[in-house]
Amino acid sequence: MVRIMAIKKWIFDNLFADYKEGYELQIDNITKMFEGLEARLKEMEKLPEEVQKQKELEDSLNNKYPKKVITYNGRYIPKYGQVKIDVRGFFINPVCSEMLNIVKPWLKLPDDQKAFKCLEWVINFISYVPDKENTGLNEFWFMPQETLMTRRGDCDDGSILLANFMLSVGIPYWKIRIVASDTIAGGHCWVSYYFEEKNRWVTLDWCFFPVNHSIKARPDYKNDKNYGNIWFSFNEKCAFSKELG
């Protein structure tokens, strides 16, 4: 066997010497490819741990308070009048092109920057108009595409659009809540965002008390004196009648 291996080596070294360099280059490329695959596998091994961590956080935030079905007279149908709708129905399909076309430039940003960009857009491009002036009704909640089309609405309309923007840009649904509460200016609807780094909910208000502070610079909503008791809040999957967390 040793003699056969020696003969094979002699044949390769002498008869295929011209190809040796090419073979060595191929072997080097294959080695680098396997090294790259090994590095990717190591990264993938870390993924389940991070996914599990995010799932535990989602469950913790969603289960801190009892969930309930909350309906609201936020829609109107001619001949039928005001219509009650499950508030979660104001979250629509996040891949709707009307929204994606706007948020597309922010898709690769970190969540905190995504949230700020969405708020900034709504502040800059949606005009505050009371329901009575806008629709002739005392109360009406626009769907996000409707607010995009008209570029006007009251606090709930802009908040619904903002929350749907945030969902479309890839922020996890459990970090986003639409909130109805007391404020120093009366009843109000606004968006709350879960700032994961500091484990706190912060206010994203596009009309009553808009500020241009970064997410990191915003206080816990409980420490913001502009806001009072929460009536209810909801995300895409759950509705709550207690505080945010």
Q: Could you report the average pLDDT of every consecutive run of 10 residues in the chain (245 residues)?
A: 60 59 63 69 69 91 91 94 96 95 97 98 98 95 97 98 98 98 95 96 97 96 93 96 70
In a domain, 62, yes or no: no
**Cβ count near 113 (within 10 Å):** 14
Q: What CATH number should be reported for the domain holding residue 170?
A: 3.10.620.30
Same domain, 27 and 85: no
Give backbone dihedrals phi and psi of 54, rounded to 5 degrees, phi first: -65, -40
Q: Which residues pair with 180 in a beta bridge?
A: 189, 232
Single pTM value for the model: 0.81
pLDDT of residue 48: 78
Same domain, 30 and 71: no
In a domain, 28, yes or no: yes
pLDDT of residue 143: 97
Same domain, 85 and 25: no
pLDDT of residue 153: 98
pLDDT of residue 132: 96
Same domain, 118 and 215: yes
In a domain, 79, yes or no: yes
In a domain, 189, yes or no: yes
Domain range enclosing 118: 67-240
Overall domain count for the chain: 2
In a domain, 215, yes or no: yes
In a domain, 46, yes or no: yes
pLDDT of residue 65: 84
Same domain, 90 and 204: yes
Q: Which string of DSSP letters, residue by residue, matches 169-211?
A: TT--GGGEEEEEEEETTSSEEEEEEEEGGGTEEEEE-SSSS--
